[in-house]
Structure 1
């Protein structure tokens, strides 16, 4: 998102941007400050989550935050007066809803399928709303555009590749921290593989570990550096698998790094083993360093890797296919070198596809046309209509649903108020007999 903003401001210096982010302050806000971009934080939840919120109390509290965030965004849009509102993630639809309520064009930039996540209102309803609340949907790959076309009219969609900048690549390759060590050995007849990305089931590192174990049983030496962060349970899971398959001498877990390029440069090939890829930024980074790519034939990867020319694609459903692809490069150093040279030569063409200027022109067209009227109530709003029932279940669970007429407080208060009610009724009757109607009406006014 930051790179897109930078490129947009370079392309059109007159553009003004304000960013609304989720509380608390993290690593994004200092980058916005450094660029002089105003921002504000709001507390809100997500409709796409790693794990669904199920307890009535949490559902009700989160929905309250989301509703209040939407109201705040409505006020912000009205005060800021933007020409267009953009949403940069599929997990938070509140700005899209607020923009539609105010009547300002909205552009959605989805970049993922939602793997490893749960959809609070279901996949169909989520992506259906994504299209209904947007005047333009800009995906980060043709593959994701095709996927979303099940729910969103093709005429409303466009493709914009993530901003990729490799002008300082040589510096980034050499920019190693003082404690950096090469994760690969210097042993001969060894294929060195780097796999950059968050360690998670959908990212496929477990399949890569099993492939290395199979190659080890065949006396084929392939070493792997897994570069990336992981949630605690995912890190524990991958470590247990490495120990179970006895491949600790072939696989290194480096942890997260701000600069993966030294690891990429130290490898022979890059691996992309996830079961789906919205774009696969690291795939292009491998190619830019001149490394062939071994990747599953899923998502946007076939758009980026030319099978048999800049890398080898394998069938994600075939457990032996990844092993065969690694074996091909291990057995044929000439093939490895040829594919590496082709990768380096072809990366500029990828970088120059689907550029920002064409998208800016489409956004300007949306601004000129205005926000399209919504044809139906969003499924998201319909889901909010179930919240009174959710609140009732919550109160019942904590024993707060009682009849106030049965309480001691109600009985005592009612008895104490009885004389006051009698006095009020008597005073009312006297006033109606003595005070003229016109004067009584004036008192009421």
Structure 2
């Protein structure tokens, strides 16, 4: 056992669903405990998943909640959260602070430097410089990130595209950025190839999308694509796994189209892996996407992906090899790609097998953890 472990505080706004909490969980579960001593500082979540609640319980005193740390912007609570984080860091004797996502990233970086923490790394887990807000709001985000970048030593980008954007928008020089791809736990995501895939409805294919039902995720285009595909191939069911502000509107759209028996809304599910294992195709119809973690998880399970060519998606889905990429906002192109795979069992199976190998090579938790170990060691030595 090492005499002096590297003490790291991870700060995140919400430990709930999504790519950022999943990465944080993997870091706590997989980092060598004889070398790294990790503490979690997190904001309270209104409706945490069972996985999140169990994770927090297992951390015991290594999990510290800051109730004032919230996703929405509120000057009073933001100042209070920053003060609370500062006090925790000041007493904690941490070597490194690793702040995750925009709100915790901004407050955590400032608090860490004020508290005298030697090294700070920030993971945006994707940015919102374009594709989310209007010009003025996007400009404000860029200016805020430029300022906050002064308070950290490294910024972690999920893709090469994100790194290039950070540089081109003037957030920081490339020398300050480390690219580490999002990792998935291959031990939990067992491949179920096309020939063995469960078909609960006597031969009916299953196509699904996973994610928040918000405009940027493109669920409306998924529904339109499903309607087009069903005209040509009736033995398919489409699953929409997730929830959000658009759910009622999208359900009304499906009912008006007379497709309620073919397009099924499941809401959020705790058994995501089990649901995903029943898919023949995973669809990622986003209008903007940092990575698309559901696409990584599907490929890890040997499921081919139909996705939009946005953000970092082309770096994780190999077009024509592990899936098919189409332009964003094009329901017709989505439907065409879905039908192409549904009609060709061999292509679907070959892509699924290639996808598992691709994820194992570049996107396994093993590769991600090794990369972060090296980053932390270098920071601790400086």
TM-score by length of 2: 0.80
Which residue matches 2:211? 197
- CA–CA distance in structure 1, aligned partners of residues 379 and 231 of structure 2: 59
- CA–CA distance in structure 1, aligned partners of residues 61 and 126 of structure 2: 26
- What's the CA shift string for 1:233-268, capped at 9, x where partnerless? 421011011112222132111121122223222221
Secondary structure of 1:291's counterpart equals coil
| Alpha carbons 1:183, 1:263 under 8 Å: kept | no
Secondary structure of 1:355's counterpart equals helix
| Alpha carbons 1:199, 1:205 under 8 Å: kept | yes
Which residue matches 2:55? 31
- What's the CA shift string for 1:353-411, capped at 9, x where partnerless? 85333333333333443xxxxxxxxxxxxxxxxxxxxxxxxxxxxxxxxxxxxxxxxxx
Indicate the structure (1 or 2) with the bigger Cα radius of gyration: 1
- What's the CA shift string for 1:122-164, capped at 9, x where partnerless? 2211321342221111122333222222222111011223342
Which residue matches 1:226? 240
| Alpha carbons 2:69, 2:77 under 8 Å: kept | yes
Secondary structure of 1:274's counterpart equals coil
Higher mean C-alpha displacement, 353-362 vs 305-314: 353-362
| Alpha carbons 2:192, 2:301 under 8 Å: kept | no
Residues 108-123 of structure 1 mapped to structure 2, 5 A cutoff: 108-114=122-128, 122-123=140-141
Secondary structure of 1:193's counterpart equals strand
Which residue matches 2:328? 316
Task: Work out which of the residue numbers 114, 132, 140 in structure 2 matches 1:101.
Answer: 114
Count of residue correspondences: 343
The verdict on how the C-alpha distance between 1:262 and 1:42 changes in structure 2, with shifts beyond 3 A counting, is closer
Pair 1:148-2:137 in alignment: no
- CA–CA distance in structure 2, aligned partners of residues 227 and 125 of structure 1: 35
Which residue matches 1:177? none
Residues 119-268 of structure 1 mapped to structure 2, 5 A cutoff: 122-149=140-167, 150=169, 151-170=171-190, 185-186=201-202, 191-218=205-232, 221-228=235-242, 230-231=243-244, 233-268=245-280
> Normalized per residue, which structure has more strand?
2
Which residue matches 2:28? 5
1:193 to partner: Cα distance: 0.6
Which residue matches 2:65? 41
Secondary structure of 1:242's counterpart equals helix
Secondary structure of 1:91's counterpart equals helix
| Alpha carbons 2:281, 2:338 under 8 Å: kept | no
CA RMSD in angstroms, aligned pairs only: 2.9
Which residue matches 2:351? 339
The verdict on how the C-alpha distance between 1:100 and 1:121 changes in structure 2, with shifts beyond 3 A counting, is farther
Q: Which ranges of structure 2 fall in alignment gaps of 5 or more residues?
A: 1-23
Which residue matches 1:305? 317
Which residue matches 1:57? none
Q: Which ranges of structure 1 fall in alignment gaps of 5 or more residues?
A: 54-61, 174-181, 370-445
Which residue matches 1:20? 41
